[in-house]
A and B are shown apart, each in its own frame.
Chain A
Amino acid sequence: MFYMILAVAIFAITYILIMTEWINKMTAALLGGFLVVVTGAISQGKAYQAVDWNVIFLLIGMMMVMGVLKQTGVFQYIAIKVAKFARAKPLYILLLMFSVTALVSAFLDNVTTVMILVPIALLIASELKITPIPYIITMAIASNIGGTATIIGDPPNVMIGSATQYSFMDFIYHLTPAIVIVMVFSLVLTWLFFHKGMRVTNENRARLMNYKEDNLIANKKLLRRSLIVVTLMLVAFLFQDKLHLAISTIAMVSGLILLLFSNRKRVENFLAHDIDWATIFFFIGLFIIVGSLIETGFINLVSNKIMAVSSGDLRKTSVIILWFSGIFSAFIDNVPFVATMIPLIKSIGTHFPAQAMHPVWWALSLGACLGGNGTLIGASANIVSVGLAHKNGFSISFLDFTKIGVFYMLLSLVLSTAYILVRYF
């Protein structure tokens, strides 16, 4: 009992530190993680076992793949192609960029996606002499929506996939349809928000149509090789069950092959810039802290309480988890939240057949990922996009973002609720 209180106290303090960002969140998580070991709330051996290496290596592997793919210039090439395809009409560009961002984000981390695509939107807006703010806000939102579609699109999905043995294909089968529905309605919402007052002169349009985007692909050989490796990786993801390989292994092998293609000898630069070690260590710290909550019996205690309250009704439980995760994630980082929820849902799952638990897991993913659109601080992609705008002289306040984002969040949570209720009950 003493250790349980101790673990919960360390967990709570760490959570507050992460929420308030009073200290760096990686430092907070690692400090909390090793503190539970030092105080004996979890044994040394159990602490290291609590780290989900599948998640860690999937993150590192995907960071390597992205790092090389980014070098090829292919994403910025696509963005400019899309702008030209829209014949430089601002509303079409807005809707197409929304879709492209979501699509790219389904395979890339959300923050990386906006860091690659928002600069292009800023450039296009500057050429068209229009404000980039609608583009920046909607692209951040699209990256959060798109990221929910696949197991590799957003860290909460990576964690859920790893903890539950759901395969890449399971995510496509269960989550992607929900995201397609959310995307269609979100595009309509985007049109409603912004279709008025987007006018540009023909001269400014002509400037954009003049771009020689083919020049962006500097190294065609690297691009060709990268696309082959990425295709093979996606195929391997699809047949993950038959290959009997962890998704992290497939990602690491793909990442390492790409690393070899991009530079056979020098990796220092790559290790320093393309692999986000702070995120990796943040996860490791969280896994250890949450491990101590499991070890000390706290998670079991809470799950029994939830079972008592919901009287074992998974329908009710799914909807509560969806909305609770959504609203919670609108204000705090969804990674520690999901890290805590996973053992809790696992514990609840011991009372039910695995089949019956599907909607609960998908509710967690949809809520945690889509909830990030609720406020400016709900997701890292929002903060990064607004930061980029600010650096270029366009300020977007908390309210500016939130009064748009909250509609997307409410819309997606309503649609997700409907999806879960119709499909699983």
Chain B
Amino acid sequence: MHLISYLDPRDIRIEQRILTKQQVYQQMVETICHNHPLPVCGNELLELILQRDQESATAYPSGLAIPHIRMDGFKDTVVGMTFLQNPIDINGFSINWVVLIITDKTSSKLYLNMVSALLALSKDKETVQALSAAQDGHGVMQQLKHLDVEIKKDLTIADIMVKDPVSVRPDAFLRELSDLMNERVTSVLPVTDAQGTYLGDVTILNFLKVGVPNYMMMIDNLNFLLSFEPLEHLFEKLDEVRVSEIMVEDDVFLRPEASIIEAVSEMIKHEKRYMSVVDKGKLVGVVTAMDIFRKVIQA
């Protein structure tokens, strides 16, 4: 599917004036309501958009803002665009391109794919420059047609994963691991060799387990021990034990082209809230259940 199939030149504006965020939104709402019959319109719609804006950030560092409304019973997708000659500030980002997307409650996939296509486009400064230099909506459409912006049909893990993640080497000592986890505020890290080949994962529990003698794991409950010196073992071993000794080797991982449903079912099956994404043996990203929750469910 092409992006332009969802666009209507009448909904695209090139704005020269200096406006506030609210004014920009208001204008877009007016234009769209004028061109399309919507179940909710006018100030009511504007309120919804502003409210939504407050709940979750819609602005991206590349200068693109994508306010989004899901409307009950609206079986269509309408996209409005405004290119701003005078950027506005949304959540600290200087925004020169606003895209308002109104979709049905159920079509989150299309929305997410559209966002990822627009985001990719917004990172190319020259293109955005050229688009906002267009005469009118038709001009923008013309250029977009040339660019042939494709909207992927299916969302994959590659779209929502964190790319180029931090990883740890198997020969690193526990001290390095503990510093890294502390610094990055993360409870799990992928393990790779110098070439970036994925070897496994190491979690905070693997780390803490070093401090718990094995026999303790075999005692049903330890509530009779009031004063066992806590994890003293662990401190002694920070510079002795290496990551390779505690990591989970050959752990389950995801391919970048895995679908969201595959990722979720793998996470549930293996009781992992975190998965490394591996392409041809190399670590390319990580994805957490929270990423999926935030970017897919709550998007």
Contacts and interface: CB of A to CB of B under 8 A. Distances in A.
Q: Are A and B interaction partners?
A: yes
Main secondary structure of the interface of B (DSSP, over half): loop
A68 B218 CA distance: 16
B42 interface: no
Interface in B73-87: none
Nearest to A120: B219
B220 interface: yes
B51 interface: no
B225 A211 contact: yes
Nearest to A391: B214
A123 interface: yes
A210 B224 CA distance: 9
Given A211-B224, A214-B224, A216-B224, A118 B215 contact: yes
Interface string A200-242: 0000000100111111101000000000000000000000000
A123 B223 contact: no
Contacts of A211: 224-226
Contacts of B218: 115, 119, 388
Given A80-B224, A207-B227, A210-B227, A123 B214 contact: no
Interface in A346-391: 388, 391
A73 interface: yes
Interface in A78-137: 80, 115, 118-120, 122-123, 126-127
Interface string A40-73: 0000000000000000000000000000001101
Given A207-B227, A211-B225, A212-B226, A71 B220 contact: yes
Interface in A10-48: none
A176 interface: no
Interface residues of A, number: 25
B216 interface: yes
B221 interface: yes
Nearest to B217: A119
Contacts of B215: 118-119, 122-123, 126, 388, 391-392
B213 A126 contact: yes
A73 B214 contact: no
A290 B256 CA distance: 55
Contact of A122 (B213, B220, B224): B213
Interface string B198-230: 000000000000000111101111011111100
A72 to B, nearest CB: 9
A208 to B, nearest CB: 10
B220 A123 contact: no
A295 B247 CA distance: 54
Which residue among B213, B224, B225 has the maximum number of chain A CB atoms within 10 Å of its CB?
B224
A402 interface: no
B227 A215 contact: no
A131 B214 CA distance: 16
A213 B224 contact: yes
A73 B221 contact: yes
A211 B228 CA distance: 10
Interface string B225-243: 1111000000000000000
A123 B221 contact: no
A340 interface: no
A329 interface: no
Interface in B53-92: none
Contacts of B216: 119, 123
B42 to A, nearest CB: 56
Nearest to B218: A119
A186 interface: no
A138 interface: no
Given A119-B218, A119-B219, A211-B225, 16 more contacts: A119-B215, A122-B213, A123-B213, A123-B215, A123-B219, A123-B225, A207-B227, A210-B227, A212-B224, A214-B224, A215-B224, A218-B220, A218-B223, A388-B215, A392-B214, A392-B215
21 contacts: A70-B220, A71-B220, A76-B219, A115-B218, A119-B215, A120-B219, A122-B215, A126-B215, A127-B228, A210-B227, A211-B226, A212-B226, A215-B221, A215-B223, A216-B221, A216-B223, A218-B223, A388-B218, A391-B214, A392-B214, A392-B215
Ranked nearest first, the 3 interchain pairs of A and B with the lowest CB-CB distance are A122-B215, A119-B215, A119-B218
